[in-house]
Amino acid sequence: MCVQAIRGATSVEADEPSAIYARTTELVQQMLSSNDISVTDLVSVFFTCTPDLTSAFPATAARAMGLEDVPLMCAVEMGVNNAPTGIIRVMMHIQSTQKREDLTHVYLHAATGLRSNIV
């Protein structure tokens, strides 16, 4: 067993709590199911949002999913010129016996093109 990291991202069309919660929940559920991991396998989850998303914390959605005892952190993504807006990114640290190359990184909605080399 070792610690591995899984990347993911999604997008929202509007800076509204309900949109951030829904898309975060969808992304985290997909990351867990695509990699056949449970909440007990989680070490920590790090969320970032582009600077235009200020209405809600993605971690609030994760807590509502049952990640109450998992360390969660949110931060603002760097404000790079011409970078896409409305993006929520996740780095999920897990305990796993899977090889790094066997992990599935999940990119949804307008975020699908962000890391096409690893999806």
Q: What is the C-alpha to C-alpha distance for residues 87 and 3, in angstroms, rounded to an integer?
A: 26
Map out the domains of the chain as residue ranges: 2-111
Structural domain 2-111, CATH architecture = 2-Layer Sandwich (3.30)
* pTM listed for this prediction: 0.94
54 Cβ partners below 8 Å, 6+ apart?
Answer: 15
Kindly state the tokens that stand for 20: 């951030």
Render pLDDT for 5-60 as a digit per residue (tens, 0 to 9).
999 999 999 999 999 999 999 999 999 999 999 999 999 999 999 999 999 999 99
Render pLDDT for 46-103 as a digit per residue (tens, 0 to 9).
999 999 999 999 999 999 999 999 999 999 999 999 999 999 999 999 999 999 999 9
Task: Give the SS3 label for residue 93.
Answer: strand
* Residue with the two structure tokens 């999604």: 10
77 Cβ partners below 8 Å, 6+ apart?
Answer: 48, 49, 50, 51, 83, 87, 89
Q: What is the C-alpha to C-alpha distance for residues 80 and 69, in angstroms, rounded to an integer?
A: 33
